[in-house]
Amino acid sequence: MALAEVRDVVKVPQGVTATVKDGVVTIKGKNGELSRAFRHPLITLEKEGNDVVIHAEEPRKQTRALVGTFSSHLRNMVAGAQKDFEYKLKVVYAHFPIKSKVSGDVVVIENFLGEKTPRRARIMKGAKVKAGADEVVVTGPDVEAVSQTAANIEQACRIRGFDPRVFQDGIYITAKGA
């Protein structure tokens, strides 16, 4: 019994263009341009009409998983080219009011648990951060940059040496969306 090849088609809507060259896919839309390299010896990417086709000759478990991963990344790129992704984080404190501000490519978190030294979280390239008194909003067309920036902010406020059930201060992700 011959096994069938693995193939997935990512639909590219009107107003968005996709180009594939040497394993690098570039998606352009009204929200900007996203580019990413998809290279694997068993997987090929081609453009058919306005759609991108991910193709693998061998239907093994690993290649099927990679085809699904590549198509998921491409769908996120198409969505980001049309509309920004947005993560909302809530600033929570009990005694010491936390102050957060953006300084260049870093979010500075001051007065966390009354600490003298401010904590810093790196902003990834392609993400924009707006820091308010009780909410931090991370937006951008690249879902990976936006989610990693939100995770960096959340991890910068991780509490060590205290019981997290008692000391619940920090900045936490409350909403994700496109």
Q: How confident is the model at residue 86 (pLDDT cuts 50, 70, 90)?
A: very high
Question: ∠ CA(78), CA(129), CA(173), 5° rounding?
Answer: 80
* pLDDT at residue number 1: 40
pLDDT tens for residues 124-166? Answer: 999 999 999 899 999 999 999 999 999 999 999 999 888 888 8
Q: pTM of the predicted model, to two decimals?
A: 0.89
* pLDDT at residue number 3: 64
3-state secondary structure of 160: coil
pLDDT tens for residues 25-73? Answer: 999 999 989 999 999 998 999 999 889 999 998 888 999 999 999 999 9
Residue 172 confidence (pLDDT) above 50: yes
Q: 3.30.2270.10, 2.60.40.10, 3.90.930.12, 3.30.479.10: which CATH number matches 6-82?
A: 3.90.930.12
Count the alpha carbons within 13 Å of 122 in the hemisphere toward its beta carbon: 4
The domains of the chain are located at 6-82, 85-177
Q: Which position has the higher pLDDT, 3 or 4? A: 4
Check if the beta carbon of residue 136 is closer than 8 Å to that of residue 171.
Answer: yes
Compute the CA torsion angle 63, 65, 68, 71 (nearest 10 deg): -60
Calculate the average pLDDT of the chain: 92
Domain 85-177, CATH: 3.90.930.12
